[in-house]
Amino acid sequence: MLKYILKRLILLIFTLFLVITATFFLMQIMPGTPFNNPKLTPEMIAQLNKAYGLDLPLWHQYLNYMINATHGDFGTSFQYQNQSVGMLIGQRLPISAQLGAQALVIGVIAGLFMGAISARNKNNKIDGTLGVVSTLGISVPSFILAIILLYLFGFKWPLFPVSGWGDSFSESVLPTIALAVGPAAIVTRFVRSEMIEALSSDYVQLARAKGLSEKEIVNKHAYRNSMIPVLTLIGPMAAGLLTGSTLIENIFSIPGIGQQFVSSIPTKDFPVIMGTTIVYALMLMVMILITDILTAIVDPRVRLQ
Amino acid sequence: MSNPILKVENLHVNFNTYAGTVKAIRDVSFDLNEGETLAIVGESGSGKSVTTKTLMGLNAKNASIPDNSRLLFKDKNLLALTEEEWQHVRGNEIAMIFQDPMTSLDPTMKIGHQIAEPLVKHRGISEKEALARALELMKGVGIPDAEEHINDYPHQWSGGMRQRAVIAIALAADPEILIADEPTTALDVTIQAQILNLMKKLQKESNSSIIFITHDLGVVAGMADRVAVMYAGKIVEYGTVDEIFFNPQHPYTWGLLNSMPTTDTEEGSLQAIPGTPPDLLEPPLGDAFAPRNVYALAIDSREEPPFFKVSDTHYAATWLLDERAPKVTPPKQILTRWAHWQELQGQEA
Ligand SMILES: Nc1ncnc2c1ncn2[C@@H]1O[C@H](COP(=O)(O)OP(=O)(O)O)[C@@H](O)[C@H]1O
Ligand SMILES: [Mg+2]
């Protein structure tokens, strides 16, 4: 197990290296330059370029970036002078992480419940209603949902604050729901089909033949077996939350890294773009690794190697 | 003869489907005596599994059973039970061994716990006591080094070992009736023999009754006391093992016997029964086997044959036994069997 995790971590570092390299060069293709404020004179721009090392040949810039990165120095933001990328992200990452984690936990738990209810009521009204709801949940993008939620519960019935972060928990309610609906819908559908399969499996038939009640069968046999495949969804869903949260953070004025990422692109804030991309990639890979380890713990048939 | 522990009377099972009503079981009656093994044989689709599921109260949701059908277990009609009462019967008074050991154990639960489960449920003992008993059961069904394997998961075991675990589960709460639905069909031949021997040995120890379902008459000879032959949702012939093997009367039984390999089978003499079983959405009038029966009489297509008595223990539903019917000569292999029957009778007299 430990050996496996170590192997995965080495692979992770290698992948990260590829991601950094690709992003670094792709960024250069973007039109425009970082310092395009009309008030800046050409001399000042040249000076700035020199200060940030942008006058060097590309390969040299790349080398510098890599060397600094291995020392934990990801440069300084162009946009917010004198703020290191590490510090900028360090302030904002916890906010995004909290939002994402809240949405993921609520989404998965809701999905597990609704999926099981749907499966046990297969093909009746409850199942049908949940089917429609989950289809909507999957197909409506989170930002549209956010706007609807804002309108309904921010303005029409002002139950929750419409923007901000960190002053009270209620500020996080609407953005969390907007983000959680997608994962909840995906998990609902997945658990439903897995549960239906489990409930018609031979081992559930045997459990029935043992004289267990339907409730005991669901709790002791069907749930665990239908949850294992759901675990594999968590990695990709976490990725969806990352990208989804960039828009949600903007809509609700949440000072997370998503908001920062979005604003760093038009300003060509290269170090911030790089830093955020690295964080996204790292978080995604760590989530997938955790998912795999969890699967191995829950599913006795899976041996990590 | 000892007392019947189970009486099945006029059992009908229908399935409602989009295409119509599938009449899967059509008026089946039989008794199961204490301590005996009754084999139910028949081709695939003849209604064997539906019969067993009905006995466990585990039929599919689209099943319906008319009110005049009765399943009397120790004089209590199982068909009148509530779901909760059924749960007390299942695994406790009537237990079941399933066909495919590769899929009938929960892949995510330790085998020891799976064996302990019915004990916790029906005996109300603690998990710890139940696991201790599970260990004994594992030894009883011949699992080597049981102590080391009680915490194994199913995927770590071979099919034969898993079927032993399934048997241990069925025996856990010491049921009076054990239903085995093709318990060896999914296993290879050597393992098959081991499992059958195990079941026989365990039955001797516990004196439980067994209903043994199979499509293979070959495994019946060493296992069963009595045999019921099923076709298209009906029992067409039943009797003691010797009566069915050596004095068969129904052409369907002849067909089954002729398609069964034996040690002294002449090469090329094995014959599958031609044709296919009827559609149970629209069961034919008269004898359902008639279209596949070279000995069919004109009346077979009009009227269903009643059971004709061959002996006190042996009945067959074929018009050939009617006194008005012409005498037919069965296939050669059946004549050989009949000759053997005459010898057996001679010895007894
Ligand atoms: N849930 C169901 N719905 C409709 N038809 C069914 C259902 N279960 C069984 N049947 C039909 O009942 C008949 C008997 O099946 P079964 O008892 O499984 O046969 P076997 O003798 O091979 O065990 C078959 O024709 C089968 O298609
Ligand atoms: Mg069957």
Buried (b) or exposed (e) across B315-346, using 16+ Cβ within 10 A?
bbbbbbbeeeeeeeebbebbeebeeebeeeee
> Which H/E stretch holds residue B119?
helix B111-123
Task: Return the pLDDT at A298.
Answer: 84
User: pLDDT digits over A145-172, tens only?
Assistant: 999 999 999 899 998 888 888 888 888 9
Closest Cα of chain B to A180: distance in Å? 29
Question: With helix as H, strand as E and coil as C, how does B150-195 read?
Answer: CCCCHHHCCHHHHHHHHHHHHHCCCCCEEEEECCCCCCCHHHHHHH
Label the pairing between strands B76-77 and B234-240.
unpaired
Provide mean pLDDT across the span A55-71: 90
| A to B CB pairs, distance under 8 Å | 78
pLDDT at B93 over 70: yes
Delimit the CATH 3.40.50.300 region(s) of chain B.
4-224, 229-348
Give chain A's domains with CATH numbers.
Answer: 90-255 (1.10.3720.10)
| Contact: B90, A228; criterion CB under 8 Å | no
- Residue pLDDT, tens place only, B102-129: 999 999 999 999 999 999 999 999 999 9
pLDDT at B266: 59
Query: What mean pLDDT is reported for chain B?
Result: 93
Among A86-95, A191-200, A230-239, B68-77, whose mean pLDDT is lowest?
Answer: A230-239
User: Which ligand 1 atom is the nearest neighbour of the CA of B46?
Assistant: 21
Q: B280 in ligand 1 pocket by Cβ < 6 Å?
A: yes
CATH topology of domain B4-224: Rossmann fold (3.40.50)
**What is the reported pLDDT for B304?**
95
Question: For atom 14 of ligand 1, which residue has the closest CA?
Answer: B47
What residues form DSSP beta bridges with B62? Answer: none
A262: its two tokens: 């979005």
Query: CA of A296: which chain B residue's CA is closest?
Result: B108
ipTM of the complex: 0.91
Distance CA A295, CA A289 (A): 10
Q: What is the pLDDT confidence band of residue A304, given thresholds at 50, 70 and 90? A: confident
Pinpoint the alpha helices (H) of chain A: 2-29, 42-51, 58-70, 85-120, 125-139, 142-149, 173-199, 202-209, 214-217, 223-251, 257-264, 270-298
**What confidence tier does B58 reach under pLDDT thresholds 50, 70, 90?**
very high
Give residue B220's pLDDT. Answer: 93
B209-214: strand order across its sheet: B94-97, B177-181, B209-214, B37-41, B226-231, B234-240, B314-316, B308-311
Q: Which residues lie closer than 8 Å to B118 by C-beta, 6 or more apart?
A: A210, A211, B91, B92, B95, B169, B172, B173
Q: What's the pLDDT at A236? A: 79
CB contact under 8 Å between A203 and B106, yes or no, is: yes
Q: Per-residue pLDDT for B73 more than 80?
A: yes
Residues of chain A positioned with their CB less than 8 A from the CB of B95: 209-210
Is pLDDT of B265 > 60? no
User: Does B85 reach chain A within 8 Å, measured CB to CB?
Assistant: no
For residue B268, is pLDDT > 80?
no
Structure tokens at A72: 């934990």
Distance (Å) from the alpha carbon of B238 to chain A's nearest alpha carbon: 27
Residue of B nearest to A298 (CA): B108
Query: Is the pLDDT assigned to residue A82 strictly greater than 90?
Result: no
Residue reference for tokens 């290191």: A84
* Averaged pLDDT, A238-246: 80
A169 CB neighbour count, 10 Å cutoff? 9
Question: CB distance B100–A212 less than 8 Å?
Answer: no
If you average pLDDT over residues A197-218, what whole number do you get? 95
Nearest-atom index, ligand 1, CA of B182: 23
Is the pLDDT assigned to residue B274 strictly greater than 80?
yes
- Chain B residues whose beta carbon lies within 8 Å of the beta carbon of residue A120: none
Give residue A242's pLDDT. 77
> What is the rounded radius of gyration, in angstroms, for the C-alpha atoms of chain B?
21
Single-letter code of the amino acid located at A243: T
Please check the confidence at residue B269 and state whether its pLDDT lies above 90: no
Q: Tens digit of pLDDT for each residue in A21-58?
A: 999 999 888 877 788 777 888 888 888 888 888 888 88
B285-302: pLDDT as tens digits: 999 999 999 999 999 999
Chain-chain contact of B90 with A299 (C-beta, under 8 angstroms): no
Is residue B189 over pLDDT 60? yes
Distance B48 CA to ligand 2 centre (A): 6
> Domain B229-348 belongs to what architecture?
3-Layer(aba) Sandwich (3.40)
What pLDDT, on a 0 to 100 scale, did the predictor assign at position B102?
93
Q: Return the residue whose CA atom lies nearest to atom 17 of ligand 1.
A: B47
Contacts of B65 by beta carbon, 8 Å cutoff, 6+ apart:
B11, B12, B13, B14, B54, B59, B79
Ligand 2 mean position, distance from CA B233 (Å): 12
Give A87-139 pLDDT, tens digit per residue: 999 999 999 989 999 999 999 999 999 999 999 998 899 999 999 999 999 99
Give the chain A residue nearest B89 (alpha carbons). A211
Please state, in angstroms and rounded to a whole number, the distance separating the CA atoms of residues A78 and A302. 47
> pLDDT by residue (tens digit) across B10-30?
999 999 999 999 999 999 999
